[in-house]
Amino acid sequence: MHRNSRLALAIVVALFFAFALPAAHADGEKVAVFSKNLVNPFWEAFRVGANVAGKQLKLNIVHYTPTKPDDIGEQMSEVENAIVSKPAAMVFVPVDMKALGPAVAKVNAANIPIVNAVDKSATGNFVTFVGSDDRTLAHATGVALLKAMGGKGNVVIIEGTKGSETSQMRVAGFRDALKEFPNVKLLASQPGNYVRLQALNVMENLIQTYPQIDGVLAANDAMALGALEALSGAHRKALAVGINATPEAIDAIKRGTMLASGDFNGFKMGCLATMAAVRALQHQPVPKEIGIPAVVVDKTNYQPWDVPVAQRSCPKWSDFVH
């Protein structure tokens, strides 16, 4: 009995150290990274950015992504599960800017430092917000198209998912750009739901209604490419811009079929958000907002975006924070 209980104690102590010691190391700190879905290449770039930064900083990056794209309920469950696993820090992109407030409150209550990335959450205590502004980006992209059209002609807007805030802000940005070019006529603004096939069908229908369309403002690249397919099928031409600068869009820009794409640079955001989380852990200063300037990628400057995401390296912190 005496020997057995000592053996048992030894085993328990050994197990304790086996589990506790790795966690006590500064290296391999767990950072939970939340993204919106597995479907949009933008989020893939974001996750790769977090991975690259994580490798640089010797972190253990754990990804949480809803299997049903942008599903609020699923993300809330993921946050709760993540809190239980006690990560050192979190990088968080809310699938909905308002609905995830309670989940963020739980993270705050658990005293886990949390960085907000890409989409600004309406409530919650965050270390910082790393992102761009949908509206500014769309505005810059729209201006690029309208300038290329020579400031005159007809355009259509292909919106994103009805009711989604990113779509609303991007369409608002496009309309801001249109205000600056009074000789350009907006023929229609119809939803493609960020889905390529729907944008294709919508564009086909619009082509039937309007004999002259000179420009297409699409709220993301997949829809821009769908609209271009519709145009080529009808043997018509128009200039098109999208948002996200996905590899396929870069290819189209290279070939000259697509004019430009506004870049949200998910990769850089993933990098910087992860870096910010680590700095918070190390009690280093982090500004309240880190803005990634909007870039319109076109034929003149696409080269850095032509590198596959996995091969890119993270920008330097000092490039963005002065």
- Choose which of 74, 120, 201, 317 interacts with other proteins (CB under 8 A): 201
The answer to whether the beta carbons of residues 260 and 253 sit under 8 Å apart is yes
Rounded to a whole number of angstroms, the minimum distance from the CB of residue 297 to other proteins is 17
Site for other proteins in 44-73 (CB under 8 A): 44, 47, 67, 69
Is residue 39 within the footprint of other proteins (CB under 8 A)?
A: yes
- Choose which of 31, 32, 43, 276 interacts with other proteins (CB under 8 A): 43
Task: Lay out the site mask for other proteins across 222-251 (x = CB under 8 A, - = otherwise).
Answer: x--xx--x---xx-----------xxx--x
Task: Give the CB-side neighbour count of residue 246, counting CA atoms within 13 A.
Answer: 18
Is residue 163 within the footprint of other proteins (CB under 8 A)?
A: yes
| Strand ordering across the sheet containing 289-291 | 59-64, 29-34, 89-92, 114-117, 129-131, 289-291
Measured CA to CA, the distance from residue 158 to residue 163 in angstroms comes to: 14
- Choose which of 81, 183, 205, 284 interacts with other proteins (CB under 8 A): 205
- Choose which of 8, 15, 197, 307 interacts with other proteins (CB under 8 A): 197
Three-state DSSP class for residue 238: coil
| AA letter at 58 | K
For 97-130, give the DSSP string. TTTTHHHHHHHHHTT--EEEESS--SSS--S-EE
Site for other proteins in 133-162 (CB under 8 A): 159, 162
Rounded to a whole number of angstroms, the minimum distance from the CB of residue 8 to other proteins is 42
Binding segment (CB under 8 A) for other proteins, from list 31-39, 77-85, 142-150, 175-183: 31-39
- How many residues touch other proteins under the rule CB under 8 A: the total is 41
| AA letter at 142 | G
Rounded to a whole number of angstroms, the minimum distance from the CB of residue 217 to other proteins is 14
Rounded to a whole number of angstroms, the minimum distance from the CB of residue 135 to other proteins is 17
- Nearest to other proteins of 16, 210 (CB atom): 210
* Interacting residues of 206 by C-beta distance below 8 A, sequence separation 6+: 156, 187, 188, 190, 213
* Interacting residues of 221 by C-beta distance below 8 A, sequence separation 6+: 242, 243, 244, 245, 246, 248, 249, 261
- DSSP code of residue 52: H
For residue 207, what are its two tokens? 């082509």
Applying CB under 8 A, the residues found at the interface with other proteins are 37-41, 43-44, 47, 67, 69, 159, 162-163, 188-191, 193, 195-198, 200-202, 204-209, 222, 225-226, 229, 233-234, 246-248, 251
